[in-house]
Structure 1
Amino acid sequence: MSGLRSNFEPGTTRWAMRRAQWTALGITGEDLEKPKIAIVNSSSGLASCFSHLDGIVPPLSDAIRAAGGVPFEVRTAAPSDAITSAGAAGQYILPSRDLIANDIEVAVEGALLDGMVCLSSCDKTTPAHLMAAGRLNIPAIVVGCGYQPSGRYRGEHVDFEDVFLYAGHVATGKMTVEELAEMSSCAISGPGVCAGMGTANSMHIAAEALGMALPGSTPVLANSPRMWETVAEAGKRILDLIAADIRPRAIMTDGAFRNAVTAVLAISGSVNTLKHLQAVAVEAGCDTDVYGLFERLAPEVPLLTAVKPNGERRIDEFEAAGGTSALLRQLRSLLDLTRPTVGGRTIAEIAEIAETAEVRDEDMIRPVDRPLARHPGIVLVRGSLAPEGGIVKRTVADDAIHRFSGPAKVFRSREEGLAGIRAGEVEPGQVLVLTGLGLRGSPGMGFTSAFVFALDGAGLGDKVAVVTDGQMSGLVNKGLSVAEISPEGALGGPLGLVHDGDRISIDVDARTIELEVPAEELERRRAGLPPLPPAPGCSWLSVYARSVQPLGRGATLGG
Structure 2
Amino acid sequence: MTGLRSNFPAGGTPWAMRRAQWTALGLSDEDMDKPKIAIVNSSSKLASCFSHLDDVVPPLMAAIRAAGGVPFEVRTAAPSDAITSAGAQGRYILPSRDLIASDIEVAVEGAQLDGMVTLASCDKTTPGQLMAAGRLDIPTIVVGCGYQPSGVYRGEHVDFEDVFLYAGHVATGAMTVEELAEMASVAVSGPGVCAGMGTANSMHIATEALGMAMPGSTPVLALSDKMFADAERAGRRIVELVREDLRPRQILTPGAFRNAVTAVLAISGSVNCVKHLQAVAVEAGCDVDVMALFEELAPRVPLLSAVKPNGDRRIDEFEAAGGAQALLHQLRPLLDLDQPTVDGRTMGEVLGGATVADADVIHPVDDPLATHPGITVVRGSLAPEGAVVKRTVADDGVQRFCGPARVYTSREEGLAGIRGGEVRPGDVVVLSGLGLRGSPGMALTSAFVFALDGAGLGDSVVVVTDGQMSGLVNKGLVVAEVSPEGAVGGPLGLVRDGDSISVDVDARILDLEVPAEELERRRAELPPLPAPRGCGWLDVYARTVSPLARGATLGG
The Cα shift of 1:395 comes to: 0.2
2:505 and 2:155 map into 1 onto residues whose CA distance is 38
Gaps spanning 5+ residues in structure 1: where?
Answer: none
Q: Is the 8 A contact 1:281 1:288 kept in 2?
A: yes
8 Å CA contact retained: 1:80, 1:122: yes
Partner of residue 377, structure 1: 374
Matching of residue 546 in structure 1 with residue 508 in structure 2:
no
Partner of 2:337: 337
2:450 to 453, 458, 470: 453
Task: Letter of the 1:515 partner, please give it.
Answer: L
2:438 corresponds to: 441
Whole-Å Cα distance in 2 between the matches of residues 423 and 536 of structure 1? Answer: 36
Structure-2 separation of matches of 1:400 and 1:555: 30
| Structure 2 residue 386 is the aligned partner of structure 1 residue 389 | yes
Distance 1:157 1:352 in 2: 36
Q: Number of residues paired by the alignment?
A: 556
Cα deviations by residue, 1:402-450 (Å, 9 ceiling, x for unpaired): 1010000000000100111111111110000000000000001000000
1:352 CA drift (Å): 2.6
Alpha-carbon distance in 1 for matches of 2:124, 2:280: 12
Report the alpha carbon displacement of residue 174 of structure 1 after superposing the two structures with TM.
1.5
Quote the Cα distance in structure 2 between the aligned partners of 1:112 and 1:371. 47
SS in 2 for 1:343: coil
Q: Aligned-residue CA RMSD in angstroms? A: 0.6
Distance in 2 separating the partners of 1:144 and 1:34: 26
How much has 1:147 moved relative to structure 2?
Answer: 0.1
CA displacement at 1:499 relative to structure 2 = 0.4
Secondary structure of 1:486's partner?
A: coil
Measure the CA separation in 1 of the matches of 2:33 and 2:374. Answer: 50
Instruction: Report the alpha carbon displacement of residue 187 of structure 1 after superposing the two structures with TM.
Output: 0.3
Q: Which residue of 2 aligns with 1:159?
A: 159
For residues 85-112 of structure 1, what are the alpha-carbon distances to aligned partners after superposition, in whole Å with 9 as ceiling and x for unaligned? 0000000000000000000000000000
State the partner residue of 1:325. 325
Q: Give me the whole-angstrom Cα distance separating, in 2, the residues matched to 1:264 and 1:198.
A: 11
Q: Is the contact between residue 441 and residue 489 of structure 1 (CA under 8 Å) also seen in structure 2?
A: yes
CA distance in 1, matches of 2:501, 2:171: 28
In 1: Cα distance, 2:255 partner to 2:423 partner? 45
Structure 1 residue 75: Cα displacement: 0.1
Which secondary structure state, in structure 1, belongs to the residue aligned with residue 365 of structure 2? coil
Aligned partner of residue 216 in structure 2, secondary structure: coil
Corresponding position of 1:106: 106
The aligned residue for residue 12 of structure 2 is 12
TM-score (structure 1 length as normaliser): 0.99
Question: What's the counterpart of residue 487 of structure 2?
Answer: 490
1:79 aligned to 2:86?
Answer: no
Alpha-carbon shift at residue 172 of structure 1 (Å): 1.9
2:467 maps to a residue whose letter is: G
CA contact (8 A) 1:406 1:505 kept: yes
Specify the SS of the correspondent of 2:313.
coil
User: How do residues 209-288 of structure 1 correspond to structure 2 at under 5 angstroms?
Assistant: 209-288=209-288
Q: CA offsets, 1:281-314, max 9 Å, x none?
A: 0000000000000000000000000000000000
Q: Quick one: which amino acid aligns to residue 261 of structure 1?
A: V
What secondary structure is seen at the aligned counterpart in 1 of 2:482? strand
| Correspondence for 1:477 | 474
Q: Distance in 1 between matches of 2:110 and 2:256?
A: 29
Paired amino acid for 2:238? I
Contact 1:147 1:221 in 2 (8 A): yes
Q: CA deviation at 1:525?
A: 0.5
Task: Give the Å deviation of 1:173.
Answer: 1.9
Matches within 5 A, 1:347-426: 347-353=347-353, 357-426=354-423
Q: CA deviation at 1:58?
A: 0.9
Q: Tell me the amino acid that sits aligned with residue 79 of structure 2.
A: P
Structure 1 residue 531: Cα displacement? 1.1
Read off the aligned partner of 2:475 and give its amino acid letter: K
Unpaired runs of at least 5, structure 2: none
- 3-state SS of paired residue (2:208): helix
Residue of structure 1 in register with 2:53 after alignment: 53
| Paired letter, 2:506 | D
**Residue identity opposite 1:314 in structure 2:** R
1:346 shift after superposition: 1.0
Amino acid at match of 1:446: A
Corresponding position: 1:128 with 2:103: no
Query: What amino acid sits opposite 2:51 in the alignment?
Result: S
Per the alignment, in what secondary structure is the counterpart of residue 485 of structure 1? coil
Paired residue secondary structure (2:344): coil
Contact 1:329–1:350 (CA under 8 A) maintained in structure 2: no
Query: 1:66-215 maps to which residues of 2 (within 5 A)?
Result: 66-215=66-215
Contact 1:332–1:352 (8 Å) recurs in 2: no
Q: Deviations over 1:199-239 (max 9, x none)?
A: 00000000000000000000000011110111110110001
How far apart, CA to CA, are the structure 1 residues paired with 2:349 and 2:18?
A: 42
Q: Displacement, 1:253?
A: 0.1
Measure the CA separation in 2 of the matches of 1:450 and 1:329.
37
- The CA deviation at 1:344 is 1.4
Residue equivalent to 1:295: 295
**Residue identity (%):** 79
- Stretch deviating more after TM superposition (475-484 or 528-537): 528-537
Give the Cα separation in 1 of the matches to 2:303 and 2:14. 55
C-alpha distance in 1 between matches for 2:224 and 2:17: 41
